[in-house]
Structure 1
């Protein structure tokens, strides 16, 4: 059995982050926590690119542009969708989530989805630290895993 161990060394990685500005106070704090965690994991400040967009529905488009540039090892989506009194919550939550997933699969790039979906501001505030920190760790770990799998694939092709 060949078990690949998690690798949280971000020293050679380039990470792109897209932050939705709607509910900016929460999103800005998430961005701060996420960037701090990335730096703790060894990602250099100059290797972190941040783009902001108006809301969660715009996040996938910018992720797609970042992914197509092939300049990043992983991407992170940050934002908050808080339930209101209309169906809009479900629409935004479902479509932004599906868009983020589709970009990752279409471009074979890890994307940590840290777009919170909560009932109220209080729930979002409680989840800021953990969700933002986890997103950074997921991005680094998955970037290293994908990079390793690609290296092994190329090594196998060279052996043939």
Structure 2
């Protein structure tokens, strides 16, 4: 985990249902995030059959499918995974900002926790380290979903 990440809480996820929407763009890196999130969920007891994974073309498409999952009504939390790498134009800023804002909006409107598992890097090396390297952000996103699902159960 990164040095600034919160200490993980022990969460029993055995009765949670988690939706995951993951971009296919930058697939090697998004798949690394997905693997980390899945391992964390399964280690916490979330049954494989209680995890639904949907793939979308890119990060810009994450909010819509996250909303479909949240509105479906049976998910305790949704994890959205995407990777955006800076390029020669500012297009990456537009994609990452709109995806992040859209995911927050989904969570607030549906009252279902949505983990914005977006990695935005200035270069491929930064992204690689966080997705398939020494900073396991996928695991952190999975842990966040577990903790938020537990809080949702407490208050809803």
* CA positional deviation for 1:29: 1.4
Normalized per residue, the structure richer in helix is 1
| Unpaired runs of at least 5, structure 1 | 1-5, 151-160
Is 1:21 the counterpart of 2:27 in the alignment?
A: no
TM superposition outliers: structure 1 runs of 4+ over 4 Å: none
* 1:146 aligned onto 2:152: yes
Structure index of larger Rg: 1
Residue 35 of structure 2: which of 28, 32, 44 is its match? 32
Query: 2-side partners of 1:132 and 1:92: how far apart?
Result: 20
Q: In 2, distance between residues paired with 1:53 and 1:11?
A: 27
> Which whole-Å CA distance do the structure 1 matches of 2:136 and 2:116 have between them?
13
- Contact 1:38/1:137 (CA < 8 Å) preserved in 2? yes
The 5 Å alignment of 1:70-109 reads 70-109=73-112
TM-score, normalised to structure 1, is 0.88
2:52 corresponds to? 49
Question: 111, 127, 136: which one pairs with 1:130?
Answer: 136
Q: Which runs of 5+ in 2 are unaligned?
A: 1-8
What is the TM-score when the length of structure 2 is the normalising length?
0.90
Distance 2:38 2:27 in 1: 16
CA deviation map 1:63-120 (0-9, x unaligned) = 0101111020000011100000111011001100000000000000111111100011
- Assess if the C-alpha contact under 8 Å between 2:36 and 2:137 holds in 1: no
Task: Return the alpha-carbon distance in structure 2 between the equivalents of residues 57 and 71 of structure 1.
Answer: 24
TM-aligned CA deviation for residue 130 of structure 1? 2.1
In 1, the alpha carbon distance for the partners of 2:40 and 2:62 equals 21
Tell me, yes or no, if the aligned pair for 1:7 and 1:145 is still in contact at 8 Å. Answer: no
